[in-house]
Structures are given as C-alpha cells and as structure tokens.
Amino acid sequence: MSGDIVGVWEVSLSDGLYRIEFEHGTTTGKRVIYINGKEALRRDWKFKLVGRETFPVGSADTKATINIEAINGFAYEYTLEINGKNLQTFLDNRSKISKTWVLKLDGNDCRIVLEKDTMDVWCNGQKMDTMGEFTDDGTETHFAVGNRECCIKATTSGSKRSKIVHSLLVDGIRIEEAIE
C-alpha cells in the first residue's frame, strides 16, 4: 500500500469485522480498495477524479459504495455507504437487528452474532447449524461451537412494550453482550 490512503472505515457484519481502506491517487485517478489488508478492487487510470466505487464485502456480498466528492479545488471528501445507507445509519440499524457476543472458548477468540430478523447464528464468519425450540418463557436456539453446548434464549422482558431479551449461554453459563 502506498501513502495515498484517504479513507479507513470499520464495518461490523454478521460474518465478521471488516476494515476497508481506500487509496485515491489524485494525480492519476488511481483507486484501490483494500478489505482487511487485501486488495479488493483496483482501477489504475481514471480521468474523472470524483464518482463512486461499489464493491462486495463479506461472505454475504454486502453492497458497499465509496463516494468521492470534490469539496473545493483539489480537496476531496470520501464517504462509505453500506446497503445504500451511510455507515453510521447502517451500524445504528445493525445494532437493532443483531446481537453480538465476543468470548474465549478453549483459548480461541469467538465472535457470535445473532440476526434477530432471521434467527441466523454466526460464529467467526461461519453460519451455524441451529435447532430452535419453544419454551414456557420464549424460545431457545441451540448450536455447538467445538464441543461446547451453546444456546441463545429469547424471553420477553415483561414490560408493556414487551421487548425481547436475547441471552447467550455456553455450557449453561450466561455470557455478556459485546459492544462493537
């Protein structure tokens, strides 16, 4: 990577955390996008210095777009959109539709994500095989990480607005939610 990195963003998706770096050569128009340090897109000569580059991120090919706008003269502004929303709006929405736990299991870092809308469970970028069951106080989604028994319990909080509370148990022990 050369010294033309003009934008760096961190994006949290169900299958992992992604660091997106954008290199913009304002003399040649060169555009290079790196995802987690690997080159994902390269355009060596672009006569138009402004515009947008759209590219996929993650195993679900989430749509990302970098917008390049001229501010004045030779100054540029770079913004990242995910699924057509600016990054902050996307991340705010994600925190409403997903829950993330980060923990160590058998000495390995684990990042477990629940997608509340689909009830899909991801562990370190892999979609897990799950088994759901109804219980007296909600639902339980069972899955295994290695030889550990994991369960995400969904229960109502009991308040009038009946918020659903999701908690992760590993071998019966409750794990605190991560803030990403």
Q: What pLDDT, in 10s, does the model give residues 18-46?
A: 999 999 988 888 999 999 999 999 998 87
Give CA–CA dist 69/128, Å, rounded.
41
pLDDT at 19: 97
Domain 97-175 falls under CATH 3.30.460.20: no
pLDDT at 131 over 60: yes
Mean pLDDT of the chain: 91
Q: Where in the chain is the domain with CATH 2.40.128.180?
A: 5-83, 97-175
Class of domain 5-83: mainly beta
pLDDT at 31: 94
Average pLDDT over residues 137-153: 94
pLDDT at 3: 66
**Structure-model confidence comparison of residues 162 and 104, the more confident one:** 104
- The torsion angles phi and psi of 15, rounded to 5 degrees, stand at -95, 10
pLDDT at 162: 65
Give CA–CA dist 68/112, Å, rounded.
34
pLDDT at 94 over 80: yes
Average pLDDT over residues 88-113: 92
Query: Which sign does the torsion angle of CA 56, 58, 61, 67 carry?
Result: negative
Q: What is the pTM of this model?
A: 0.82
pLDDT at 143: 97
pLDDT at 2: 54
**Structure-model confidence comparison of residues 5 and 49, the more confident one:** 5
Q: Report which residue type is found at 102.
A: V
